[in-house]
Amino acid sequence: RIGLAVMARVLQNLKRRPSPNTVFAVSTVQEEVGLRGAQTSSFQVKPDIGINLESGVAGDYPSASADEAQEKLGQGPAIFLHDSSMIPNLKLRDFVMEVAKRGKIPLQFNVLSGYGQDGAEIQRSYRGVPSINIAIPTRYLHTHTGVISRNDFDETVKLVTGVVLHLNDHTVEELRRFD
């Protein structure tokens, strides 16, 4: 749900300041049972770049270990550097980090031994798509009482808006080159 809220806010921002690109906002289903929605939507849209918005596992509660999650509430959006389904495109990762740095947006990084994210299906789709998972740290994920930081939400909106606005034709081509 928080990913949808970020997506809606980013689209509102893009309405006021249009992107140089065509932007598709897609909501998927069945992530937990095989990333099915991401697979079908990726083949329908045929994206040049994939930005997957996630609820990240905040590991700042009693009994959580660093092996489970490294994100903490109030320290900004997170980029998944690895999970069992994907490693982000390194050029795209560096691009997102540069946008965050220029915008003074704090970033966290997460390395997970399990999980699977829709970004993996975007990455494998069509002809191979540079993709990244950007997450809003969420405490008590997958419960009816998930907790986020409003500041993390706002910084994630700012980051994703900035990334989309900086993706011009030349940058997209550079990110898509596998050399």
Residue whose C-alpha is closest to residue 167's, from 108, 105, 91, 110: 91
- Position 119: which residue type? G
Alpha helices in the chain (DSSP H): 2-16, 36-45, 90-102, 118-124, 150-166, 169-176
| Catalytic hit among 31, 54, 71, 121 | 31
Q: Is 130 helix (H, G, I), strand (E, B) or coil?
A: coil
Phi, psi (5° rounding) for residue 66?
-65, -20
Q: Is 128 helix (H, G, I), strand (E, B) or coil?
A: coil
Maximum Cα interatomic distance, the chain, rounded to a whole number of Å: 46
Q: At what angle do helices 169-176 and 90-102 cross, to 10 degrees?
A: 140
Q: Which residues pair with 52 in a beta bridge?
A: 133
Please indicate whether residue 155 is annotated as part of the active site.
no
Residues marked active site are found at 31
